[in-house]
Amino acid sequence: MSEPRVLVLRAPGTNCDIETAGAFERAGGSPDMLHLYRLIESPKALHDYRILAFPGGFSYGDDVAAGAVVATELRSKLLPDLRRFIEGGGLILGICNGFQILVKAGLLPALDGLGERGDLTLSWNDSGRYEDRWVKLRVQSDKSPFFRKGDLIDCPVAHAEGKVVVSESSVIDRLREAGQIVVTYEAADGGEAAYPENPNGSVAGIAGVCDPTGRVMGLMPHPERNVDGTHHPRWTRDGLQVGGAGLRVFEDAVKHAASV
């Protein structure tokens, strides 16, 4: 089985590209890191890959709004190629700032079609400040190849604009019915998460969603920061030596990409 090629796309201000590429490599993929402008110059290069990743960071300093500049570039210059990539079975993952990019580009949640925006967006945390803490995620759906329903995953968040908000309550019903609410924040006792376990106040505790195909996935927490047991703050107490819980996200994506 050949190693699926992974394109990790970066822009000015991106700061999690190396960690994301490292997670995919550890999971068995073959990652390359590329600047957004190089892909805009040669969009056909996208089709040499099976997975496209938008890592975390602060693209363009979040000066306009988190992820907004890259999202505008995608919509105006790369949307047709992204559409063909998805239709051809390619996987797309957006983490933190990458999630913000995918939402603002209209690739998520895409309830009314790719490129259509307005159903869901990401706003300022209820706390009014940047949140950097570990959270628990419960996988609620098996629609996305990145996740297995029922799994519980520990990983950190690091964002100021991570609150999922929707245009109207019916959007939540549509997302839930379609299996597009993939991961939610979970309280330590297994119940519904309130602050700080839900670090931003996201409606319905949403931490990540996918598109109707399941192949485009975005989430605010950082699974690439828990791919080794020693990444976890309790690794000595809990005896975590090999493989962090976040590694499976990348392993499952690589395995899926290699099988199609």
Q: Mind telling me the catalytic residues?
A: 96, 222, 224
Q: Is 76 helix (H, G, I), strand (E, B) or coil?
A: helix
CB 163 within 8 A of CB 202: yes
CB 68 within 8 A of CB 80: no
Question: Whole-angstrom Cα distance, residue 168 to residue 51?
Answer: 32
* Residues 6+ positions from 73 with CB-CB distance below 8 Å: 36, 40
| Whole-Å CA distances, 9 to 39, 54, 93, 247 | 8, 6, 11, 20
